[in-house]
Amino acid sequence: MKGVIIIDIHYRHEWKHEITYLDLLVIRQRMKAVARPDPHATDGKYFIRSLYFDNASDKALREKIDGVDMREKFRIRYYDLDTSIIHLEKKGKRNGLGTKYKAPLSAKEAQKIVDGDIDWMMRSEHGLINELYLKMYYQGMRPKTIVDYTREPFIFDAGNVRVTLDYDIRTGLDSIDFLNPDTPTVPAGDAPIILEVKWDEYLPSIIRDCVQMKGRHVSAFSKYAQCRVYG
């Protein structure tokens, strides 16, 4: 097994707001006026499907609900149901700042992980895949639930700002067959629309003004936690 790769930690600031559909319409128009669309989006949006991991005691879920300061979660993600580009991702939180690391997966490798065929992971050249293997082997981490949603992304280069509008959040319930486009999903309870704002060292005032809506406050909303609403 390769050693886990040590890399410089790059922390990002992140705001999340639960907003209404009217808020979405207003913020969308503001962002179109000052920012550029994500070049990977089609007609300004794309579909995201993720498969989140947790252990038998729901460690990742409990840490999120309890507001643990240092926490992490693993997921496999792809876009617009295109399985030619899939990534394993690890998101971390510390003192309110976020990190994210990625490693590429083929569709065959992703399916092996879903099926519990993980021995190959310890021979991967990607440290993140090695790390997930260790946590699956020693901590019992397993694929837990599918999380689907639609995202409208905007980019503002100064400050490396990314503003996203996420909605139609759906859960795969107990299904982990996330490479199958016909896997049934259902609305994840009464999930709100989520505005996310991420930036590096500073948030330009023009973006701060664009995303401010009266009566909206920073939220600790988690799509994974929301998609566990049924168990």
Exposure string for 111-148, b = 16+ CB within 10 A, e = fewer:
bbbbeeeeeebeebebbbbbbbbebbeeeebbbbbbbb
**Residue given tokens 């990002």 in the structure block:** 12
The whole-angstrom separation of Cα 139 and Cα 153 is 35
* Cα atoms in the Cβ-side hemisphere of radius 13 Å centred on 78: 17
What confidence tens digit (pLDDT) does each residue in 101-112 have? 999 999 999 999
**Residue 31 has what pLDDT?**
97
Written as one letter, the residue type at 19 is I
The DSSP output letter for 12 is B
pTM of the model: 0.92
pLDDT profile of the chain (231 residues), mean per 10 = 49 92 97 94 96 95 88 96 97 87 97 97 97 97 97 96 98 94 95 95 95 85 93 76
22, containing H or E segment: helix 21-34
